[in-house]
Chain A
Amino acid sequence: MFGKKVIHVVDDRVDWSAGARGALWGPVIAISTFGEITMTSVNTMVDNVKTEIGTGRKMDILRIADHGNRDGLELGDDWITAVNFATYAPKLGELRSYFNNNGIAHFLNCLVGNNTGLLHQFAVTWNVTIYGGTGLTNGFRMNGGEWVSVTPGGVITQNVSWPD
């Protein structure tokens, strides 16, 4: 009866620390996304998503857009790696009950698909399958590598299609 509930979270600020190619990526993604939620940190991401969902339908897809590399990913001003994940896990874990059965989370952050250990930590925390790209994600949301999925059970699948 209803389509999938997709929540888009974007850090829509101009970020010169990401270099010339990365500075405007957030605004570009935000401008071309309807109904996105903005974030400036892990705390604001989690709180804004919870506020958006409220008591309504749970998420089928949480799509997150910020910067990333092989070591970690950015959520606003917070840089998350496999090493410091535990610091953010309690706050991130608050979203666990906001996912639908068979819900997924999809990171558009560049290169995070190479870090399946980190993606697995997100998968366990949220109890959903996590998707990330192995290459750079451009303004059209195309990834120069391939999309990889990681389940809470640790099953890694390479070269999966765009999740929707």
Chain B
Amino acid sequence: MLKKIGYWAFLASVGLTLLFGIGVGLSLLLGSNAHPFLDGAVVASTLGFVYLQPLLVVLALVTDRTRPAKVAICGLFFGLWLLVIAAGWWIVG
């Protein structure tokens, strides 16, 4: 059961990272309000990434650390999250 939760948490963190990355990329290319759907998806993925990503990564790691590749990807995602949070603090208007 725990492994199953970890599996879904890992998948969710992969999906969230992809959504966030694609959303930010499209927003920078097209403008964040180019389309209401893009605007909503980017806001949702950004909030999800900022608030949920560390929980998902920790959950995935706590429940299953048997595969080194998965552990490495989780470490990468956590590093990316730290980078985004640090950038959010550092960037000013």
Counting from the closest, the 10 A-B pairs by CB-CB distance are A139-B88, A136-B92, A30-B32, A139-B91, A34-B43, A25-B93, A137-B93, A110-B93, A31-B27, A32-B46
* Contact indicator B33/A66 (Cβ below 8 Å): no
B31 adjacent to chain A (CB < 8 Å): yes
The reply to whether A12 and B32 form a contact with Cβ atoms under 8 Å apart is: yes
Please tell me if the beta carbons of B33 and A38 are within 8 angstroms of each other in the complex.
Answer: yes
Minimal Cβ-Cβ distance residue in A for B47: A32
Which residues of B, 35-65, contact A by the 8 Å Cβ criterion? Answer: 36, 39-40, 42-43, 46-47
Main secondary structure of the interface of B (DSSP, over half): helix
Q: How far is the CA of A108 from the CA of B43 in the complex (A)?
A: 19
Note all chain A residues with C-beta closer than 8 A to B47.
Answer: 32
Partner of B93, one of A12, A14, A22, A35: A22
Question: Contact partner of A65 among B46, B91, B93, CB < 8 A?
Answer: B93
Once the chains are docked, how many angstroms separate the CA of A66 from the CA of B28? Answer: 17
Report how many residues on chain B are interfacial, defined by Cβ distance under 8 Å: 21
Identify the A interface with B (CB < 8 A): 12, 14, 18, 21-22, 24-38, 65-68, 108-110, 136-140, 144
Given A32-B47, A33-B43, A139-B87, decide whether A12 and B31 contact each other with a Cβ distance below 8 A: yes
Q: Which of B39, B92, B93 has the most CB of A within 10 A?
A: B93
Contact check, B33 vs A30: say whether CB atoms are below 8 A apart.
yes
- Residues of chain B at the chain A interface (Cβ within 8 Å): 23-24, 27-28, 31-33, 36, 39-40, 42-43, 46-47, 87-93
B48 → chain A, closest Cβ, in Å?
11
Which residue of the partner chain A has the closest CB to B45? A31
Answer whether A38 and B31 are a contact pair too, CB < 8 Å, given A32-B47, A139-B87.
yes
Bound: A82/B71 CA distance, A: 56
Contact A136 B93 (CB under 8 A): yes
B33 near A68 with CB under 8 A, answer: no
